[in-house]
Structure 1
Amino acid sequence: MRTKSDRIRQAVSFELLGLALVTPFGSWLYGFPLFDIGAISVISSLVATCWNYAFNFAFDHALKHWRGTTAKTMTLRALHATAFELGLLLILLPIFSWWLGLGYVESFVVQLSFALFYLVYTFVFTWCYDRVFPDPDGRVAA
Structure 2
Amino acid sequence: MTPTTRRVLQALLYEAIAIAVVGPVLSVAFDKSPASTLGLAVVLSSIALTWNYAFNWFFERWESRQSVRGRSFVRRLAHGAGFEGGLVIILLPVMSLWLDISLTAALVANLGLLAFFFFYAIAFTWCFDRVFGLPASAQAGDGDRV
RMSD: 3.6
- TM-score, normalised to structure 2, is 0.66
In the alignment, residue 46 of structure 1 is paired with which amino acid? S
Question: CA–CA distance in 2 between the matches of 1:30 and 1:37?
Answer: 9
Task: Give the direction of change, closer, same or farther, for the CA distance of 1:7–1:91 in structure 2 (3 Å limit).
Answer: farther
Identity among equivalent positions (%) equals 34
- Equivalent runs, 1:70-85 vs 2, <5 Å: 83=81, 85=84
In the alignment, residue 38 of structure 1 is paired with which amino acid? L
Match of 1:125 in 2: 124
Task: Give the direction of change, closer, same or farther, for the CA distance of 1:10–1:56 in structure 2 (3 Å limit).
Answer: farther
Question: CA–CA distance in 1 between the matches of 2:96 and 2:127?
Answer: 33
- The 8 Å contact of residues 27 and 33 in structure 2, kept in 1 or not, is answered as yes
How many residues align structurally? Answer: 128
In the alignment, residue 45 of structure 2 is paired with which amino acid? S
1:14 Cα deviation after fit: 0.4
Task: Give the direction of change, closer, same or farther, for the CA distance of 1:52–1:139 in structure 2 (3 Å limit).
Answer: farther
Match of 1:100 in 2: 99
Match of 1:66 in 2: 70
- Equivalent runs, 1:1-142 vs 2, <5 Å: 3-52=3-52, 66=70, 83=81, 85-131=84-130, 132-139=132-139
Instruction: Answer 1 or 2: higher relative contact order, Cα 8 Å, separation at least 6.
Output: 1
Match of 1:72 in 2: none
Larger radius of gyration: 2
1:102 Cα deviation after fit: 2.3
Question: CA–CA distance in 1 between the matches of 2:20 and 2:52?
Answer: 18
Task: Give the direction of change, closer, same or farther, for the CA distance of 1:90–1:135 in structure 2 (3 Å limit).
Answer: farther
Task: Give the direction of change, closer, same or farther, for the CA distance of 1:54–1:96 in structure 2 (3 Å limit).
Answer: same
Question: CA–CA distance in 2 between the matches of 1:57 and 1:16?
Answer: 24
1:13 Cα deviation after fit: 0.7
